[in-house]
Each structure stands twice: as C-alpha cells, then as structure tokens.
A and B are shown apart, each in its own frame.
Chain A
C-alpha cells in the first residue's frame, strides 16, 4: 500500500471550529489512477492537502510507503513535497513573472540542480507536452490548457511517485479537459505514477480507474471504474 489513512480527522479552528474530516480511512496502491468526488465543501481539497503534506491533520495516521507522516519538520516535509509529490491545481498556480520554462525549472532549483541541466530538463518536459514554442512565454500569454500543461510539466520534472491534482480541469473547457485527463491517464499508464484527482465533474471522474466518494467528512462508496462507464452522461465525452 502506497498511501494509507487511518481515522484521519481535521478541524479548522476559528470563531466557529469546523470539523471537516471526521475519520477518513483510505488506501491507495502504487500506480493507481483514482478520483475523489463529493459535493462542494465536503472536504475534498482538505483531504488532498493532507495527502500532499501541504497541511497537517489533527488525529489519526497517514502513511506514505509505510512511513508515518505526522508532525514532520519543515525540512523533511519540504523534501517529501519536492522529491515524492507533484501538484496540479485548478488555478494553475504558476508564478506570473516567470516564463513557462522558468516555472518548470523551479522545483529543480530548490533541489540544487545546476542551471544548465535544469534548463535542459525543463525544455525536454515542455517538448513532451507539446509546449516547446511556448517556453519563453509568460503565463498571462497562454491559454488555460497550455498553463495547465506547464503546471503538469512542473509537477513531473522531479519524477514524483504521486501526482495530486485538485480540480485540474476546473478552469478548462471540455475539449481541453479531455486532453488534460488523457495526458494524466497516459502518464499513469506509461510511467506508473500514482495519480489522485479531486473533481466534482463526473465526466472527469469517469476517466479514472476508481472513484472515491466523500460525504459528510467520511469516505462513502468507492466505485471500481476500470471500464470507464460510470458517468451518467455517457462514456465517451467529458461533460461540463
């Protein structure tokens, strides 16, 4: 088991404490392609942030490759994020004053990779995603789909074992959404990367092999979807 959660709780403190995750139990194996679905405010992003060690949880246990991820030092959390995990977000989260290639290089910069090598690697990944001509462009000169592909290139460049994507198609039209999901699926098949996609679009979820439903802060039913026929809207299109 690559990812295991036992009874994970998360409460947002505040004027009115909000108990978002109320005992999540979940296991995901290496090389899986899964989606997490649920209503808005059900805690999908909260769960994904915990999986990505971007946020901490209050109770329970979270294991990655059998290693307990709890109360990590900033240094080791940063190392996990840098070496093990790749992130793709709904709002792309590219740095606006950096060009596409500079954005893709950034994780390698923090790994201490030399200037030339990281540039070459970034170019190679951009090329693989068909963005070679866009390398020198700034994010505001690119379309949503292109930005998301840059973000995917940035997530891939460190050869992560797990890619976490929070509504990666949320800001894209249906055609581009299909392309992005096909890209993720291809990565999963060819590179055996574990991919976890949070979405509330059933068509997007249908592209994945397993659909995990989250409701009222706990895991609801889990659909096996290896035949990609779960969508209520059909099996061939990604409906918005």
Chain B
C-alpha cells in the first residue's frame, strides 16, 4: 500500500462522505476515552486529596493508651485503672528491640495562649524530641523541641499554624518571642505548618508543643504520661509486636496481657491498609467502567464499519477489478477505522484534560493525568482502531471483483 496523500485523501473522503454517521460513531470512542481518563485522573486526585489528609503521620506507628481492666489478674479485681509511666519508655525500648521510637506524651486540652493583645486556644502536647519521627513536622520558622530542651526543662514551645496566624496576624518570624500559657511565659522556638488532618490529640495546627519534662512539671503529672507513641524499625510489621507489648506492659502494671480493654493499642498501619484497599477497589472500578465504555465505543466503530463495508461492496469490487490487491483493501478499511478512533479519541483526551483542569481549579488539588498516560491512551486507541477495523476489513477483503458487476 502506497502511503501517499491520496491514501489519506481516500480515508478522509470515506469518513466525510457520511459525516453524521462518522460523528456518532466517533462519539462512542470519544466518550469512552474521556470517561477512562477522567476517572483515572479523578481517582488519582481523590487519593492525593486523602493522602494529604493522612500525610504528616508515620505509616508504621502505634499508639498505646492506658485503659480499665476487665479481667481479674494475680489477685487484683477487674475494673482497675493503671497509669503509663515515664519509665515504660526505657523498658519498652529494651524489651522490644524492633521498636525505633518510643515517645511519651502528656497533653491537655483548650489552654488559652496570649501574646500581647492577641489570644488563641491550643492543645498542649508535652513530648520528647523524637516526636517528630511520629508526626511529620513542617517547620516554617525556627526549629523543633530538642533533647537539651527536654533534659533542661526549658520553657520553650513550637506552635501550630492556626495559633501562629491568630497570635501574629501581621506575620513574620515569631521565634524568640514570649507567649503566655496559663501562668508561665514560653519562648517560641519554632512554627509548625504541618496541615495534615491526622494527628494525636488534636490537629497540629492547633497544637502547642513543649518539652515533656516541662509539661509534667506545669501540670503536676509526676512520672505519669498519657500515652506512648511507637514506631517500628524498617520492615517491622507493627501489628505483630502487639502481643509482646501487652505482655511487657501487663507484667509491669499487673493486668492480664489478653485483657484487650486494659490497654488500648491504635495501629496506623491498619488505617492505612484500609484506605489502601479502598483505593485498590476504586481503581479496579475505574478501569472496569472506563475500559468498558471505551470498548463499547470500539464495538460501535466495528459495527458501523461493517455496515459501511456492506454498502461499499460495489465500490470495493470495482477497485479489485481494476487491480487492487486484497491486502490493499484490508489496509484501507483498517486505516479508516484507526483514523476514526484516533481522531475521536484525541478529542476525548483533550476534553478529559480540560475537565480535569476545571476540577483542579475547583477542588484545589492535582487531578491531571500524566503525559505518559495520554501517550498510552493514544497507543490504546491505535490498537483499538486496528481491532475494531479487523472484522470489517476481513469482510471487505473477501469481496470478489464479480461482486461489483451485480447491480443489486
């Protein structure tokens, strides 16, 4: 087959000869590809949006909170409360070497914070320096609480974005300034702009973080802490550590290791895997619906090409009678089918990117499909075009020259 201008002209001619039919057939492919790309982009954008919500939190972390016993143990009655102790930090590190970070936390709710004439309310979190391994910190100004702060009970704090915005409406670096928290003055050493929605004891933006030693003293906690944040070393499955944590803590604090309510364990790994599964399911659905629609479009093309070939029997017969080879007829029909799907599909790609862009402007998140996704879509179209054109083309190929001579 000679691929000169006339070949393209032939294709354009036969597609344009029945404009409305080409348009309607092309619409199936256009809509199919649009659906596929729009859903892919939308799904990825949704995932992006959700993972933003979960961002700022270690994926392999675990939170341990004390609870009330429900089983008698070693002569002690059920219904007893116990307290996590500061010394549990060292104990767990020693007994469970798979743990990476063991960070205790003391927290209180709704303290008011004052700077000059401005006030804000904050959730207080007393933590060790290692807390930044648990909840990601996104420092806008200054630094985080460090080990020296903790060791020396320094009166320093890191404030969240909301607190910063409320206390310092004119902006600027607040580090070194003193704010009042209850009766004490704390020096700001950093501002945390982490805006993730998932965090322990209140959002990061509304939190004031101080050394745990200082918090213990200010709020008269002695050596008691509210909870422990744990992260595992690389490759450690946190849920597998749970029984050992229970037995270590139970032996120390005298509760039955099998008594689940006695010690609450929150495993972020589980939450993340739920979200992951959700998206896997969603993705499957997206591909099913998108490819299904596209396939329906391609079948439409195939059907219409079939009708076209039947209508063109005489024309094809004439071509054969004046010397066209069967494979030249085959190529012509396949090229027509490929052209139709590629042209219609390109509009689908353009329309999908356009709609995703609009979505981005509304939702302020990234929904756009990647360049290579578009290239892959183009290749998919070409393949679909060939497949759709194959059956009609084979039929056309079997038109015999004598078929042109019958005048029905």
The interface of chain A, by Cβ under 8 A from chain B, is 45, 49, 52, 54-55, 74-75, 78-79, 81-83, 87, 89, 91, 93-98, 106-107, 109-112, 114-115, 154, 158, 166
Contacts and interface: CB of A to CB of B under 8 A. Distances in A.
B405 A89 contact: yes
B315 A109 contact: no
A98 B17 CA distance: 11
B326 interface: yes
B407 A91 contact: yes
Nearest to B312: A95
Most buried by B among A78, A87, A89: A78
B326 A107 contact: no
Given A97-B13, A97-B17, A115-B6, A54 B401 contact: yes
Contacts of B5: 115
B407 A81 contact: no
Interface string B317-338: 0111111111010000000000
B402 A82 contact: no
Contacts of B319: 95, 106, 110
A95 B321 contact: no
Contacts of B170: none
A112 B324 CA distance: 11
A110 B405 contact: no
Nearest to A155: B322
B2 A93 contact: no
Contact of B324 (A98, A110, A114, A154): A110
A49 B326 contact: no
Nearest to A75: B325
A82 B2 contact: no
Contact of A87 (B2, B6, B315, B322): B322
Given A52-B401, A55-B402, 5 more contacts: A54-B402, A81-B321, A82-B323, A107-B323, A110-B323
B143 interface: no
Given A93-B314, A115-B6, A79 B323 contact: yes
30 contacts: A49-B405, A54-B321, A54-B400, A54-B401, A54-B405, A74-B326, A75-B325, A79-B323, A81-B320, A81-B322, A81-B323, A81-B401, A82-B322, A82-B323, A89-B405, A93-B314, A93-B318, A93-B321, A93-B404, A95-B318, A106-B319, A106-B322, A107-B323, A109-B6, A110-B319, A110-B322, A110-B323, A110-B325, A154-B322, A158-B323
A11 B328 CA distance: 30
Given A93-B404, A97-B17, A115-B6, A87 B321 contact: yes
Contacts of A166: 405
A97 B10 CA distance: 10
A79 B323 CA distance: 6
Given A54-B405, A55-B400, A97-B17, A78 B320 contact: yes
B381 to A, nearest CB: 26
The 10 A-B residue pairs with the shortest CB-CB distance in the complex, in nearest-first order: A82-B323, A54-B401, A110-B323, A107-B322, A55-B402, A54-B402, A110-B324, A78-B325, A74-B326, A93-B318
Contacts of B17: 97
A112 B322 CA distance: 13
B147 to A, nearest CB: 82
Contacts of B6: 109, 115
A14 B189 CA distance: 97
B388 to A, nearest CB: 23
A158 B51 CA distance: 70
Contacts of A54: 321, 400-402, 405
A112 B2 contact: yes
A7 B355 CA distance: 72
A94 B321 CA distance: 12
A176 to B, nearest CB: 20
Nearest to A89: B405
